[in-house]
Amino acid sequence: MTVRTIVLKGEGIRKEALAVAAITPGHLIERTSADKFQVHSTASGNAQRAFAVENPNQYDNDIDHAYAADETVTAVWCQSGMEIYALVPAAAPAIVIGDIVGSNGDGCLKKIAAADQDANVTVESIVGYSLEAVDNSAGGAVARLKIEVA
């Protein structure tokens, strides 16, 4: 089944702001001090559960159609339990169902390794839990991952 939406289950709160740089639907985002959106920039850092969604103003409304710098981005602030079609970076370690995921520092999500879960991970840095297995370790491009928001 081909998924063509970012929000798979749930509603969340939708907000809009200009993009600092290119943002792809599914990116984990953050608001800047200039009141713009950018991809979440701190690997394993605290994160609001906010994701860019497909552009309602594009004729194709495609999840792979990136927003350009200074374009108005539509995003959703998620509630716990929502399901999102997020992004995983190229060459990322394999992720299995139930893995904890957090920010990769580039808008994508990464598996939070068991060794990091005790000392380095806070509740605020856990974005969600994987709902599917994705092995993008040999991938040269980002991949999609279904997650349940923490």
Give 4's contacts (C-beta < 8 A, 6+ positions apart). 54, 61, 62, 63
Per-position pLDDT tens, the chain of length 150: 678 899 999 999 999 999 999 999 999 999 999 999 999 999 999 999 999 999 988 777 789 999 999 999 999 999 999 999 999 999 999 999 999 999 999 999 999 987 676 666 788 899 999 999 999 999 999 999 999 999
Q: In what order do the strands lie in the sheet with 128-130?
A: 7-9, 83-88, 143-149, 128-130, 100-103, 109-111
pTM for the full model?
0.94
